[in-house]
């Protein structure tokens, strides 16, 4: 196996001041990549006590791994802010070699989750909120970073879906549909960028222990479950993202890795 050595690479990870995105950013930096930490605002990192701020996460990464790291805030539901995020990332680091579209979530317009959270009784405003935060934000980031990568004829895009998009659900239906849309969008974008040596792949994570997960769910005793049945750890998902960002996946494009649990 080729060692994952990302020295000299520049990565933008959306939603990376906390949760799985933070784990992806830490592991990319550990492999030598310069990092843009992103979230909707500076304070998002502190919501579940994961960090003091987005800038604090960037400072931690720079100090621990000796790479360049910057925090940039942007609301990814606004395409103008997404373009500004990409432009500022290129200005700060010189290029974007890796884009990880991690930001998203089953989040209502005014509530932590849509309520009701089905297909029919859910409010129109919550439908729009969920689709914007997941599918449209991914499309916007891919568009603006993808133009940059196409021009350079180089780059790796990793989109983040969800296991919810691959099974029938009765709760979070809009979220699941948006995440499944990311998987098909990935497949199609990969074909568009294949002539330009830009890899586009997707990971659909299983339920994973993060501060937000623990704050919003109760998990029963898993002592009698196998490793492949237990709720995943952030490192489990990050190992797959690292594979998709590293040289081992150079011949892989258009695929979705579904993490069944």
Supply 111's token pair: 């509530």
Annotated catalytic residue 140? no
Query: In whole angstroms, what is the distance from residue 179 CA to residue 169 CA?
Result: 12
Give whole-number Cα distances, 243 to 59, 67, 158, 162, in Å: 25, 20, 10, 18
CA angle 77, 243, 54 (to 5 degrees): 40
How many other CB atoms sit within 10 Å of the CB of residue 253?
A: 21
The DSSP line for 191-254 is HHHGGGTEEEEEEEPPPB--HHHHHH------TTS-TTTSPBPHHHHHHHHHHHHSGGGTT--S
Q: Do 58 and 33 meet the contact criterion of CB atoms below 8 Å apart? A: no
Supply 158's token pair: 């990793």
User: Residue 155: left if φ>0, alpha if ψ -120 to 50, beta else—which one?
Assistant: left
Query: In whole angstroms, what is the distance from residue 256 CA to residue 232 CA?
Result: 18
Of 65, 175, 185, 209, which one is the catalytic site residue? 175
Q: In what order do the strands lie in the sheet with 69-73?
A: 69-73, 34-39, 10-13, 98-101, 155-160, 198-204, 256-258
Using DSSP, state whether 161 is helix, strand or coil: coil
Catalytic residues: 175
């Amino acid at each position: 196996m080729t060692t994952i050595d990302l020295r000299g690479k520049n990565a933008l990870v959306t939603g990376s001041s906390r949760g799985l995105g933070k784990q992806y950013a830490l592991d990319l930096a550990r492999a030598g990549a310069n990092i843009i930490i992103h979230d909707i605002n500076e304070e998002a990192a502190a919501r579940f006590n994961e960090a003091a701020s987005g800038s604090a996460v960037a400072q931690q990464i720079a100090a621990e791994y000796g790479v360049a790291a910057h925090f940039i805030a942007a609301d990814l539901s606004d395409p103008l802010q997404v373009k500004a995020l990409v432009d500022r990332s290129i200005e700060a680091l010189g290029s974007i070699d890796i884009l990880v579209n991690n930001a998203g979530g089953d989040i209502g317009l005014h509530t932590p989750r849509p309520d009701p959270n089905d297909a029919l009784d859910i409010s129109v405003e919550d439908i729009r909120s969920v689709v914007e935060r997941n599918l449209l934000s991914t499309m916007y980031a891919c568009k603006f970073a993808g133009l940059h990568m196409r021009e350079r004829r180089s780059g790796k895009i990793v989109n983040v879906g969800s296991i919810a998009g691959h099974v029938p659900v009765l709760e979070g239906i809009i979220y699941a549909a948006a995440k499944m849309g990311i998987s098909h969008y990935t497949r199609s974008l990969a074909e568009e960028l294949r002539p330009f040596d830009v890899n586009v792949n997707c990971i659909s994570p299983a339920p994973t222990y993060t501060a937000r997960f623990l704050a919003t769910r109760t998990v029963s005793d898993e002592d009698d479950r196998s490793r492949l049945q237990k709720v995943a750890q952030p490192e489990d998902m990050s190992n797959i993202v690292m594979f998709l960002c590293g040289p081992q996946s150079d011949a892989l494009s258009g695929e979705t890795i579904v993490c069944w649990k």
